[in-house]
Structure 1
Amino acid sequence: MARLGVERDAQSRNSLEGIQVLRAAAALLVVLLHTLAAARTANARLTIPDWLAQFGAIGVDIFFVISGFIMFRVSFPAGRPALAPASFLRKRLTRIYPVYWFVMALMLELWSLGLLPLAHLNAEMIDAENQRMLIRSIFLLPTNYFVMAIAWTLVYEMYFYFIFGATLYFSNPLVSLLGASATIMILYAAHGWVPDPALSDFLRNPIAIEFCFGLLMGYLAMRWPRLAFAAKPLWIPAAALLAIAAFAQPYASAIHPPSLSRVLQWGVPSFLLVASFLSMKSDSGPLRRQMILLGDASYAIYLTHPIAMIYYAKLLQGNVSSLPQWPIVPLIIVLSAGFGVVIHVVVERRLMSGVRGLFGGRIASSLARPPLSPEIAQELESTVPDR
């Protein structure tokens, strides 16, 4: 029995380390997407095929599948009671909002000082007549205007958290899987009957279904623990499906493919990729450590990389656009990731510690030992019963 417990603990760490590596890859893909988009918009010297220009968009889909899996996993820990709805939502709110508000305040401050080009921020939202839109943007409610354009994905995260959190009232994994999935799909189907235009547009996008893919994976992994090892080769069909999708989808609609095509083209391969990374074994190599660090910082990288994109776009308005962009694009990606890591270490970790300490959060000391990173330990904190 003790040996089984050790094996489960090892599998737990390995699976989360694999997820952290995939988080890092997803964050870098999004940065790649926006860097290439900025270069193409400015007609810079960067000749790239459409499939490469659009490929980074899958980073968001990977994030959504990972989110569904992690939320299921931490809410139904093996051998412990299911997480209470209030506890789940408290942990999610304190995870999302503090860093988001910090980065939003930073961008607004830079804009007010004239250090960010006005055209790249939605000035209408600062107008007193648009306070409703501003409030929606601050609290990540469905809206057609955001202070930070990338916040649209966080609105879907919050939407998923509240739906899934409500199902935890029943303390039943199958009920949560089916209940959350059915609710998301019913609301998607009913978007035409919603009177609020912003909410209707929000529900019209089926991308939230990808959270359900993650929930399904979490349920299957819980019922069949060895599934992670059996799923290891799934990256092969995932790569094949991505290759087909890349050539089948025109660039003009690549960022936001219509209807359910995104869920099929990028959501399904993301599901397979996440499954294949669950069995990644612990490794102390320097590349693995760096990828785990980037995975830890993936949220900060996602939030802060638009700042680098804004300055890159501004540089492209000058003579930089006439220079070959192949050496510049990797530099922009490295600088974006580096800035995100700095914000993660200097700001995000301290905010998380302070806010969760304020609300009585705690991290089990047994989960804080190597090879777990601080980010993994924070996720595993949710497995500690605190009803």
Structure 2
Amino acid sequence: MAGIRPPRLIRLTAESPDLLHLDALRFGAALAIVVVHFRTNLLAAWPGAQTAFSRLDGLAVSVDLFFAISGFVISWVYGDRLSSLAAYGTFLRKRVARLMPLHWATLGFFVLVGLVLQSQGGDAAPTKYNFSCLLTNAVLLQGWGLCGGPSFNTVSWSISAEMTMYFAYPLLFLAGARFPRIALIAVAALILALELGALAPPFWVERTHNLGVLRAFPGFCIGILLFQNRARMAQLPAPQAWLGAALAALIIGVGLGAPKSVLVLIAYAITACGIAADLQRKAGPMIARIAPAGRLTYSIYMLHPIAQSLFINIVGRRILGLEGAELTLWTLAALPVTIAISYLSLCLFEEPARRLLSGGHGPRRPTADPKDERFSI
């Protein structure tokens, strides 16, 4: 049809010249989550490496880093611009256009897997392929504890939580703007209560499908508050040094098996230091080279379970019969494969779908406008 342009490969560029550290952090956090979920196969060359397996789970706090970055980025783009129902509706439509196409596509993949397993009479992992949870997943409510366990594309619980934060964003931003001290005290008190075990088990940083939306709330609010106090953040001395120290603390903490109650606070500190470095425009050449890969964050996050299922489990383990060191090497190879698939998904599927659903007719290549449409995960 006239006027419809076919999708094509695009050159990755940073979404904004102003938030390069946050873009680089998002990419690194996405890779950390991949490591968490690939770790069984990554450690195949080291039988009995239960300690390493357990400690690598500490990298799962990268999701909490996403939530905090999200609160800041959404505030950076929209701030107090959502002053009418029409503006709020446009905001939500763009959020849906960004998140839902890939979510629905990955959900469809796991639905097909479940149907195949059921047709073969095999063990279809009833919890994961619980078709009574299909509608819940389709409308992004799986982070509300409505299913008995993780289901379909299990990582999408965080997208459910993220969408909930988007719905609540105008009220959260208004509360922080109108009552800054009260909001700061309230968020600090909430985190303290959660750290002290205010919620029944599981611990709040362990929550995913089981009310993971409660896990997203503190981090998202921290991001909003950091934006509203950005003038103070811009005065932090040597922000890059603090960022490096915080990243080192996270890596060391994971290596030593520090509890997630500590690691999540470090993740929030990393976010704050990254924001300060960006506000002071302290990005060096390495950060500038990594930042464009931040555009792949959401794709990597949503597609790596499929890469694990197809590339590692089916091809590597079942067809090729790999184990031990060979399986470890194969799993390492799955990392660039996942990134490549994510790039193709962004170019050929997600960007065209986003433009179609958002009703936009803008350029096909991402711009460097700091107020352009951005996304958090």
TM normalised by structure 1 equals 0.70
Post-superposition offset of 1:165: 2.8
The code of the aligned residue for 1:27 comes to: A
| Residue from 217, 221, 241 that aligns with 1:212 | 221
Equivalent residue for 1:9?
none
Equivalent residue for 2:90?
87
Equivalent residue for 1:303?
302
Post-superposition offset of 1:32: 2.0
Q: Deviations over 1:179-209 (max 9, x none)?
A: 59948976987866xxxxx999416954531
On the 8 A contact 2:56/2:254 being kept in 1, the answer is: no
Report which structure shows greater RCO (CA 8 Å, sep ≥6): 2
1:236 matches 2:239 = no
Count of paired positions? 340
Equivalent residue for 2:373?
378
Gapped runs of 5+ residues in structure 1?
A: 1-11, 193-197, 381-387
| Residue from 56, 61, 64 that aligns with 1:61 | 64
On the 8 A contact 2:114/2:129 being kept in 1, the answer is: no
Post-superposition offset of 1:68: 1.1
Q: Residues 372 and 35 (structure 1 numbering): CA distance in 2 closer, same or farther, change over 3 Å?
A: farther
Post-superposition offset of 1:308: 1.2
Q: Distance in 2 between matches of 1:277 and 1:119?
A: 52
Aligned residue runs from structure 1 range 90-105, under 5 A: 90-105=93-108
Equivalent residue for 1:136?
136
Q: Deviations over 1:203-225 (max 9, x none)?
A: 6954531222222221222x358
Equivalent residue for 1:151?
156
Q: Deviations over 1:354-381 (max 9, x none)?
A: 0001xxx565x8xx886569xx83229x
Higher helix residue share = 1
Post-superposition offset of 1:70: 0.4
Q: Deviations over 1:47-90 (max 9, x none)?
A: 6972873464243222112101101111227xx78674333333
Aligned residue runs from structure 1 range 159-198, under 5 A: 159-167=164-172, 170=174, 173-175=177-179, 182=186
The code of the aligned residue for 2:373 comes to: Q
Q: Deviations over 1:119-155 (max 9, x none)?
A: 896545766xx62x32222222113342211012112
The code of the aligned residue for 1:211 comes to: F
The code of the aligned residue for 2:333 comes to: L
Equivalent residue for 2:7?
none
Percent identity at matched positions? 19
Greater mean deviation of Cα atoms: 206-215 or 174-183: 174-183
Post-superposition offset of 1:272: 3.0
1:202 matches 2:211 = yes
On the 8 A contact 2:107/2:153 being kept in 1, the answer is: yes
Post-superposition offset of 1:300: 1.2
On the 8 A contact 1:191/1:204 being kept in 2, the answer is: no
Q: Secondary structure at the match of 2:19?
A: helix
On the 8 A contact 1:39/1:46 being kept in 2, the answer is: no
Q: Distance in 1 between matches of 2:122 and 2:276?
A: 41
Equivalent residue for 2:331?
329
Q: Residues 32 and 204 (structure 1 numbering): CA distance in 2 closer, same or farther, change over 3 Å?
A: closer
The code of the aligned residue for 2:334 comes to: I
Q: Secondary structure at the match of 1:308?
A: helix
On the 8 A contact 1:122/1:147 being kept in 2, the answer is: no
The code of the aligned residue for 1:37 comes to: T
Q: Residues 60 and 87 (structure 1 numbering): CA distance in 2 closer, same or farther, change over 3 Å?
A: same
Q: Distance in 2 between matches of 1:324 and 1:300?
A: 27
Q: Deviations over 1:281-317 (max 9, x none)?
A: 486x9x955x344311211111111011123134336
On the 8 A contact 1:231/1:276 being kept in 2, the answer is: yes
TM normalised by structure 2 equals 0.71
Greater mean deviation of Cα atoms: 148-157 or 207-216: 207-216
